[in-house]
Amino acid sequence: MRSLGTTAFWQSYRELPTGIRDAARAAYKKFLLDPAHPSLQLERLRSDPRFWSVRVTRDFRAVAQRLESDTWIWVWIGSHNDFDRRFPAQVALRTSRVLLMKILFLGGTGNISAECAALLYERGHEILVVTRGRNAVPANYQAIVADRKDASAMRAALQGVRPEVVINFLGYDLPDVRVDYELFNGVVRQYLFISSTSVYEKPPRKLPLTEDAPVGNAWWEYAQKKVACEQWLRQRGEEPSFPVTIVRPSHTYSKRWVPNAVSSGSYTFAARLEQGKPVFVHDDGESPWTLTAAADFAVGLAGLVGNADAIGETFHITSDEVLTWNQIYAEIAAALAVESPQIVKVPTDFICQMAPQLTGTLKGDKAHPGVFDNSKIKRFVPEFRCRKPFRAGVRESVSWLREHPDQQNLRPDLDTLIERVIRAWERRGSD
Ligand SMILES: NC(=O)c1ccc[n+]([C@@H]2O[C@H](COP(=O)([O-])OP(=O)(O)OC[C@H]3O[C@@H](n4cnc5c(N)ncnc54)[C@H](OP(=O)(O)O)[C@@H]3O)[C@@H](O)[C@H]2O)c1
């Protein structure tokens, strides 16, 4: 290996504080022995793959051009902030794990995002979360309090915050992602948008669904807005200064949820079964569906974070376990130790007539088969495998929610709604 510095490099070097010059010499010694030493975080620049960046300290780095014949020409050394200005969003992200990234979650303490933040923290990254502060934020994270819907509060709270990666779990509408673009364009090395598999056209033309399936959901405004966000971000992502990855979870639950087709974020459905009250299943209950444990989803997501190959790509991340709704409700009943659950089959059209608020989630999602081909995420993140079958996951949820009744989010309005649909279905024709 040959290694030389340009005049400009040496000039920048001389202007550095003594301690940083010492650190640069130490990093250089390491580099001569092993350029791929993990502490150097050797990374290729995105715009020009001949150039590479090397970590000097937490706040300083250097850039070299690598010529054929293994000659390295050092062209620049300086602070991370200067680097960001000079090479905005240019650093290529390696497929291997990059240590100590500063990762900002929009959300981060919710049903899915809490598992993802915990895993990335465990892997050594610095975690910052933007929430309203209603859910407790783990003490090891940096908590930033702001209402995501208030653009000026977001600007104020995030002033001077320079994350390397942003994961947006709170993108429900175009104004949300527009603020993110304003705040993070030219700053981040990767912006991950958490979308939804509800974006796929219903009914699906082909199963299992792959990421290139047509999008557009005639029934659900939530899905229509996710499609609009995806499309807007994909256009912004064509600019090198805003590298976007789109991730579509399907129905994904943590221990805080007993998932069902009415409202997964509330224990009401399970509580009715516990109390020996009837619940309904849509149609004949035989439509296939996929439920994914948040802890499994987190492994797929974490493998995309800091992954250069994932920039500009779209992924769904789901389990390969496919169950019918009848099987799902039988598992929930078994987890609750309810021996003879009363599950009434009611046509989707009838449910939506009685409870129009369920039209989006049923006709726009759960009344259609939800089966996914996960080969793309497995190709990009080979360690991704869903390890938790629903039978195990739902038991964890039931026991955790029984131990934490304050987290059950029981909703009397849902209880009344389920009762009303069933009574109306049983009375049909007799009026
Ligand atoms: N779970 C699924 O089945 C599923 C399927 C497809 C897509 N998704 C997508 O996954 C994302 C939801 O992720 P999640 O499950 O982690 O969310 P979640 O359970 O709804 O949690 C929301 C998180 O964001 C914070 N938050 C909520 N409103 C906020 C606001 N206005 N300003 C600032 N912080 C706010 C909450 O903390 P505070 O309350 O303390 O503010 C919490 O940390 C959504 O984008 C959703 O579309 C989920």
Question: Whose Cα sits closest to atom 42 in ligand 1?
Answer: 110
**C-alpha dist (Å) from residue 169 to 57, 105, 195, 406:** 31, 7, 8, 24
CB-based contact 42:92 (threshold 8 Å):
no
Q: Which tokens is 402 given?
A: 């029984």
**C-alpha dist (Å) from residue 313 to 88, 115, 168, 171, 259:** 20, 22, 16, 18, 28
| 3-state percent helix, strand, coil for the chain, nearest multiple of 5 | 40, 20, 40
* Closest ligand 1 atom to Cα of 197: 6
Q: What is the pLDDT of residues 60-103, one digit of tens each?
A: 999 998 876 678 999 999 998 888 778 765 544 443 333 468 99
* Closest ligand 1 atom to Cα of 131: 34
pLDDT band (50, 70, 90) for residue 35: confident
36, pLDDT greater than 80: no
CB-based contact 181:234 (threshold 8 Å):
no
For ligand 1, the distance from its centroid to the CA atom of residue 319, given in whole angstroms, is 20
Give the residue-averaged pLDDT of 125-147: 95
221, pLDDT greater than 70: yes
Q: Among 142, 149, 169, 179, which residue has the most ligand 1 atoms within 8 Å of its CB, making it the best to mutate? A: 169
CB-based contact 384:391 (threshold 8 Å):
no
Domain map (residue ranges) of the chain: 2-96, 102-430
The binding-site residues of ligand 1, defined as CB within 6 angstroms of any ligand atom, are 107-113, 130-135, 147-149, 169-171, 194, 196, 249, 251-252
Give the residue-averaged pLDDT of 99-122: 91
* Mean pLDDT over each residue of the chain, to the nearest integer: 93
- CATH topology for 2-96 is YaeB-like fold (3.30.2310)
**Cis-peptide into 175, omega within 30 deg:** no
Give the residue-averaged pLDDT of 364-378: 98
The share of the chain scoring above pLDDT 70, in percent, equals 95
Question: Whose Cα sits closest to atom 44 in ligand 1?
Answer: 169
- Of residues 421, 411, 394, the one with CA closest to residue 280: 421
* Closest ligand 1 atom to Cα of 113: 16
**C-alpha dist (Å) from residue 250 to 196, 290, 417:** 6, 7, 25
pLDDT band (50, 70, 90) for residue 14: very high
For ligand 1, the distance from its centroid to the CA atom of residue 267, given in whole angstroms, is 17
Q: What is the pLDDT of residues 174-202, one digit of tens each?
A: 999 999 999 999 999 999 999 999 999 99
Q: What is the pLDDT of residues 40-66, one digit of tens each?
A: 888 877 667 678 889 999 999 999 988
Question: Whose Cα sits closest to atom 6 in ligand 1?
Answer: 196
Q: Which tokens is 105 given?
A: 């979650």
For ligand 1, the distance from its centroid to the CA atom of residue 111, given in whole angstroms, is 7
Would you state the pLDDT for residue 281?
98
Q: What is the pLDDT of residues 279-292, one digit of tens each?
A: 999 999 999 999 99
Would you state the pLDDT for residue 124?
72
Would you state the pLDDT for residue 38?
80
Q: Among 109, 179, 256, 296, which residue has the most ligand 1 atoms within 8 Å of its CB, making it the best to mutate? A: 109
Would you state the pLDDT for residue 88?
61
For ligand 1, the distance from its centroid to the CA atom of residue 338, given in whole angstroms, is 31
For ligand 1, the distance from its centroid to the CA atom of residue 222, given in whole angstroms, is 13
Give the residue-averaged pLDDT of 348-373: 98
9, pLDDT greater than 60: yes
Question: Whose Cα sits closest to atom 11 in ligand 1?
Answer: 169
CB-based contact 180:166 (threshold 8 Å):
yes
What 3 state SS string does 290-318 have? ECEEHHHHHHHHHHHCCCHHHCCCEEEEC
CATH code of the domain made up of 102-430: 3.40.50.720
Would you state the pLDDT for residue 68?
64
Cα end-to-end span (Å), the chain: 89
Tell me which DSSP letter residue 138 carries.
P
Question: Whose Cα sits closest to atom 21 in ligand 1?
Answer: 110
* Closest ligand 1 atom to Cα of 251: 3
Q: Residue 193 phi/psi, 5° resolution?
A: -105, 125
DSSP string, 192-254: EEE--GGGB-SS-SSSSB-TTS-B--SS-HHHHHHHHHHHHHHHHTTSTTS-EEEEEE-SEE-
For residue 2, give every residue at least 6 positions away whose Cβ sits within 8 Å of its Cβ, in sequence order, or none. Answer: 69, 70, 71, 72
The share of the chain scoring above pLDDT 90, in percent, equals 82
